[in-house]
Amino acid sequence: MTPWLVVGLGNPGERYTQTRHNIGARVAERLGERLGARLRKVRFIPIEVAEATLGGERVYVARPQTFMNVSGPPVASLAKRRKVELDNVIVCHDEIDLPFGALKVKLGGSTAGHNGLKSLQQAFRLPDFYRVRLGVGRPPGSKDAADHVLDRFTKAEREDVELLIEAGAEAVETLIREGLTAAQDNHNRRGPAA
């Protein structure tokens, strides 16, 4: 049985932990906690991995230790080493094209300018992996999108961020246990949970 690989995208280092760009990495951490597994460094690949089981399936939860725009090669190396097929890869990432607090589960599609997704598509040579898209909203006014995603969440957003991270981890679990349609029906939402 092919194992699953859940990837949380972000930038390494304390400076980036609480930024919008790192919400995918935080979902991976939360999923590891929910499954009772700790992220640990992998030898010879710049990536941290937690190993767990979920509904009888083997699951690797990973967080690249490279910057976002070069996260593809370590993820592809890990997938190859652990014999994970592309259709069992789930990538959790920030999404400026979704309103803050929204969540959308999908399969494949374009990168919409997301450098982490671009790097993964180049490394896998295909776009056909699952995505858990976590809405961080568009930058206000004329603010640059790159600056926006490297900002921390505002005080007013922090409570909803924690709920979104939890919802992201739950969406991954549903996707693995019950498939794409169930994950979309149960977890897709247009904004913060009421």
SS (H, E, C) 23-91: HHHHHHHHHHHHCCCCCEEECCEEEEEEEEEECCEEEEEEEECCCHHHCHHHHHHHHHHCCCCHHHEEE
Of 143, 121, 118, nearest to 20 by C-alpha is 143
As beta bridge partners, residue 53 has: 58
Residue 181, CA atoms < 13 Å, CB-side half-sphere: 0
Q: Is 187 a catalytic residue?
A: no
* Residues 6+ positions from 8 with CB-CB distance below 8 Å: 24, 25, 26, 27, 28, 29, 31, 61, 62, 63, 92
Catalytic residue among 21, 114, 148, 187: 21
Burial group, residue 21, by CB count within 10 angstroms (0-12, 13-18, 19+): buried
The residues that are catalytic are 21
